[in-house]
Amino acid sequence: MNANFPTHAAPIKLYRHPKSGHCHRVELMMALLDLPYQAIDLDMANGAHKAPSFLAMSPFRQVPAIDDNGVTLCDSNAILIYLVKSYPTNYDWLPDTPEAAAEVQRWLSVAAGEIAHGPCAARLVTVFNAPLDHEHAKAAAHRLFAVMEQTLNVRDFLAGSAMTIADVAGYSYIAHAPEGGVSLEGYPSIRAWLKRIESQERFVGMARTPLPEGV
């Protein structure tokens, strides 16, 4: 257990869907920080995300949300920042220097933009039958991956030579992109980056879904 976590406190409650990449990035961050947490799977098909108690934490009816002993928060990227600021370690997950902090923020914006509209959206179609344009999402994913491949050709992680919350935010949907019909075969630098993240102590993965035909 992280020595910075108060021993009297209860585990952080993580309200999630087990196959949501947004939820997994929070779970991965808590695991990497060695924080005790309790995963609570919401029955979203039956409207659990619309219950007043959940709306008090997440007014947009979205997972993930956390309850850290009375501190409630939603939005996966915001939660990542909260966790590394609340429970600091000897590792610099969120650099303070202007250039490095801006680079991390750039990739957090990519996680909320290009990743959400590319590999995330493509996977929503195949895993959750979302009524989205699958071909458009796959094309967006490959445009994103072309940029990422160039970036990861020259450095080990998205924001530089060391892993940051930018990599945690980016990992889940990219690692599971083949589940959305987006192959990673042509992106060796991205695949090497995924392996570097997966080699981290206390890494936890997300539940896998069978691949669609042709991937």
Q: Please state, in angstroms and rounded to a whole number, the distance separating the CA atoms of residues 123 and 138.
A: 9
pLDDT at 8: 46
pLDDT at 5: 47
* 3-class state of residue 35 by DSSP: coil
Q: 73 forms bridges with which residues in the sheet?
A: 66
Owner of token pair 């956390």: 66
Q: Please state, in angstroms and rounded to a whole number, the distance separating the CA atoms of residues 5 and 36.
A: 8
Walk along the chain (215 residues) in steps of 10 and give the mean pLDDT of each run: 54 96 98 97 86 91 96 97 96 96 98 98 97 98 98 98 98 98 98 98 94 77
**176: nearest Cα among 63, 29, 74, 24:** 24
With 0-12 / 13-18 / 19 or more C-beta atoms within 10 angstroms meaning exposed / middle / buried, residue 162 is middle
pLDDT at 1: 43
Share in percent of the chain as helix, strand, coil (round to 5): 50, 10, 40
pLDDT at 48: 83
pLDDT at 9: 75
**193: nearest Cα among 165, 164, 167:** 167
